[in-house]
Amino acid sequence: MINDIKTSQYSIRKTVSASFEEAVKQVQELLKQEGFGVLTTIDVQQTLEKKLYVAYDKYVILGACHPQSAFKALQMDKDMGLLLPCNVVVYEETKQVIVSAIRPTVALSIANEPALHEVAKEIENKLQRVVEHI
């Protein structure tokens, strides 16, 4: 079963019918189609097991970067790197697979840089399409 997209204060989220592994692959491919590269992949389940010896649901954080937009943001303020990359998470919850992406318009709003809003909106539209098409 595929649910509609849900938008929270800071995320764009969707429950998907794919397996966890397939969802991760699909998200990576969709990000690539939208011009993103995945700079980091953090396996939270594995990290928590290794560092804290606790069991946790499958959970992966993908650090996605859209180079042209990142460059624009960094030209406005070099400290923008603190707010990059855009994270997309894929996780299991009660036997369902969830894909959730950060809302850049919200995350970058703390910079109080009006020119940055257009860049953030462009990136948010791209992430919205990734979540829509998964």
Query: Amino acid identity of 44?
Result: V
Kindly report the pTM of this predicted structure: 0.93
The domain ranges of the chain are 6-133
- Residues 128, 72: Cα–Cα separation, whole Å: 20
Residue 112: the pLDDT is 86
Each residue's pLDDT tens digit, 12-33: 999 999 999 999 999 999 999 9
Each residue's pLDDT tens digit, 60-116: 999 999 999 999 999 999 999 999 999 999 999 999 999 999 999 999 999 888 899
Topology adopted by domain 6-133 = TATA-Binding Protein (3.30.310)
- Residues 71, 123: Cα–Cα separation, whole Å: 13
- Residues 84, 51: Cα–Cα separation, whole Å: 25
